[in-house]
């Protein structure tokens, strides 16, 4: 594709990778899958190393990283949205936060530079897992009738308005939620990757033409890389906190 005389690669080249192992089979492995494997392994290693038998009372190294991560999820996600009874969801939320964070952060790691979550498969799977969890939690804590009543007929609304409110709540709670959760993560990663590619292509083209001209887009590229680190962390945080909000909404119906 030719944009402003630049040889910009078509979008499919930026997000579709050739198979590396098991070519052509259903279990083909490409770069995206390898990044997900790396994210799983890094998350497991951090918590396995941190959770081994302690030699001293003072946390150091990996244990310190894991403890501050858990502390962060506990204080700014669980306690703020669910409350003390949300503690049993801590392992799920913490694992999900670190997994999403590590698969996002490969966006800015030199030599890899691909956010695995810019492919839709894993975000939508995570979102569907979240959908199942908050529905099961809601049915378990309020009963099927109570859960449906509280989520479809929010109290404090005039009777006549239920004609409008109930269909909206039905669609937004049970249909749109998982998709908006997945699309939020996916689209942010796609946008970030496209942004970085655009400035990288621009820098390369200007470097070929005039060496000086590449300075401005390259400075922008460096700035955007910093911004994308922020976005990677923020999206992992937002995915986790929205999960916690949905679970909290199922545990305590709207007052």
Which stretches of the chain bind other proteins, using CB under 8 A?
11, 75-77, 80-81, 180, 183-184, 187-188, 190-191, 234, 237-238, 241-242, 245
- Comparing CB distances to other proteins, the nearer of 75 and 208 is 75
Smallest separation, CB 110 to other proteins (Å): 26
CB 42 within 8 A of CB 69: no
Backbone angles phi, psi at 100, to 5 degrees: -65, -40
Instruction: Give CA–CA dist 231/246, Å, rounded.
Output: 22
Based on CB atoms, which residue is closest to other proteins, 78 or 214? 78
- Find the shortest distance in angstroms from Cβ 147 to other proteins: 22
Question: Shortest distance, CB of residue 75 to other proteins, whole angstroms?
Answer: 8
Q: CA distances (Å), 57 to each of 13, 48, 60, 176, in order?
A: 51, 17, 9, 47
Q: Which of 105/189 has CB closer to other proteins?
A: 189
The nearer residue to other proteins, 216 or 234, going by C-beta atoms, is: 234
**Shortest Å, Cβ 6 to other proteins:** 16
| Token output for 162 | 């239920």
In the complex, least distance from residue 235 CB atom to other proteins, rounded to whole angstroms = 9
CA distance 231 to 250: 28
Whether 19 contacts 29, CB under 8 Å: yes
State which residue, 47 or 246, has the beta carbon closest to other proteins: 246
Measured from the CB atom, the residue of 115 and 206 that comes closer to other proteins is 115
Cα separation of 182 and 137, whole Å? 20
- State which residue, 20 or 234, has the beta carbon closest to other proteins: 234
Taking the complex as a whole, how short is the minimal distance between the CB of residue 184 and other proteins, in angstroms? Answer: 6
CA atoms within 13 A on the CB side of 155: 7
8 A C-beta contact, residue 253 and residue 142:
yes
If we measure between CA atoms, which residue out of 218, 192, 196 comes closest to residue 206? 218
- Nearest-angstrom CA–CA distance, 30 and 138: 38
Residue 186 beta carbon to other proteins: minimum distance, rounded to whole angstroms: 8
Q: Where are the alpha helices (H) located in 109-214, listed in sequence order?
A: 121-152, 162-171, 177-209
């Amino acid at each position: 594709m030719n944009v402003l005389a630049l040889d910009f690669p078509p979008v499919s080249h930026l997000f579709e990778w050739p198979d590396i192992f098991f070519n052509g089979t259903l279990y083909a492995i490409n770069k995206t899958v390898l990044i997900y494997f790396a994210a799983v392994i890094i998350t497991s290693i951090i918590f396995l190393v941190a959770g081994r038998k302690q030699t001293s009372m003072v946390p150091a190294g990996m244990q310190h990283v894991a403890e501050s991560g858990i502390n962060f999820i506990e204080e700014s996600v669980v306690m703020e949205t669910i409350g003390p009874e949300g503690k049993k969801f801590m392992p799920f939320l913490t694992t999900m936060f670190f997994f999403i964070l590590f698969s996002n952060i490969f966006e800015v790691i030199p030599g890899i530079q691909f956010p695995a979550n810019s492919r839709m498969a894993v975000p939508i799977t995570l979102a569907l897992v979240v959908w199942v969890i908050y529905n099961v939690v809601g049915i378990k804590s309020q009963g099927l009738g109570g859960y449906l009543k509280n989520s479809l007929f929010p109290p404090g609304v005039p009777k006549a308005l239920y004609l409008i409110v109930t269909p909206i709540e039905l669609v937004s709670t049970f249909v749109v939620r998982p998709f908006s959760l997945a699309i939020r993560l996916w689209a942010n990663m796609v946008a970030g990757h496209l942004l970085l590619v655009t400035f990288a292509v621009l820098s390369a083209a200007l470097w070929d033409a005039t060496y000086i001209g590449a300075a401005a887009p390259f400075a922008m590229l460096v700035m955007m890389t910093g911004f994308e680190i922020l976005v990677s962390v923020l999206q992992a945080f937002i995915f986790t906190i929205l999960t916690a909000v949905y679970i909290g909404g199922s545990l305590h119906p709207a007052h």
